[in-house]
Structure 1
Amino acid sequence: MSGPLVVLVGPMGVGKSTVGELLAERLGAAYRDTDADIVAAENRTIADIFVDEGEDHFRALERAAVRDAVAGHTGVLSLGGGAVLDPSTRALLAGRPVVYLSMDVDEAVKRVGLNTARPLLAVNPRRQWRELMEARRPLYTEVARTVVATDDRVPEEVVQAVLDALELPLPAGDTTPPHGQEKTV
């Protein structure tokens, strides 16, 4: 099956972009983020799209961005937090190397402060985050080949956990030791 080497899914603020970039670097592959694709194509922020056009319009843009990225990208791909809401996206991800990066609400508060720059968290962010996760967690789990918890882990540890979980080979000559291990020369 052609397509991405790894697809990262999970809630907003879980670190998909940070982990994705580091993972791509370790694998000697390109990195792509569908949220960034949408922002570049629309020349405005996701929050602005939500305000100006509504969530349904954004989800249509997201569905198209995911479809294009899965068809044309062979590196590491990060999807927006709500991409799995669409049944056609979930079907597209079936059988692919999808990793669900998970975290609990306390970790989300530490990472993003659940601020209002996130359009779906504008009112009572802690409660809304929990409600979003109740709805989305089963969908993340449905599409994922594996789940990697990010709580209390630095990005490099998450990258190593993803590599281990998917048993991905590193490019020849990669001498980066797993986190916490000394490199011997």
Structure 2
Amino acid sequence: MNQIDPSAIGQLFTDARTHAAWQDRAVPDSVLKDLYDLMKWGPTSGNSTPARMVFVRSPAQKAVLLECMAPGNVEKTRTAPVTAIVAYDLAFFEHLPRLFPHADMRTGFAANPERAARAALMNGSLQGGYFILAARALGLDCGPMGGFDAEKVNAAFFADSTWRVNFICNLGYGDAARLHPRGPRLSFDEACRIV
């Protein structure tokens, strides 16, 4: 593989920002489908791919979601063109015979719900990162959030399923004029060791 163009690195990482204010510009369904079709190729252990998405756009469903959000996240979610509930499926292993036909991985997860839940969260979180990068690659801005009541989200959107919320991410075209100054990051020496 070759290194990608520096402008692409900028779009994905160094120039990209977390947005809280949005342009009045719709995100077409076709872009959401392209987003999923791009992010699904990111690696997960055993090709488990437990991430599941609910794209909330309708006013009625947005109202339900807003009841689950922390006060500081209500307005940014209300005004976002689309809000993704990034979830994971606790029963992801039911798809393993098709997704990972090389070995029987289903049986071990089915017999151990704690192990399955850890794997679902870990691999679903990996896919959540791919989701943000895929959105940025397609020209969308993202506003990922952890400020919400998970029990309320699960009850409102996943009551009759094995899906559970991981995080929530607003999507759209951000209003760059309303960005805060960029926060610092830890240096290599603060966050890494080579052993």
Q: TM-score normalized by structure 2? A: 0.23
Structure exhibiting the larger radius of gyration computed from Cα positions: 2
* Greater percentage in helix: 1
- Larger RCO, structure (CA 8 Å, separation 6 or more): 2
Q: TM-score normalized by structure 1? A: 0.24
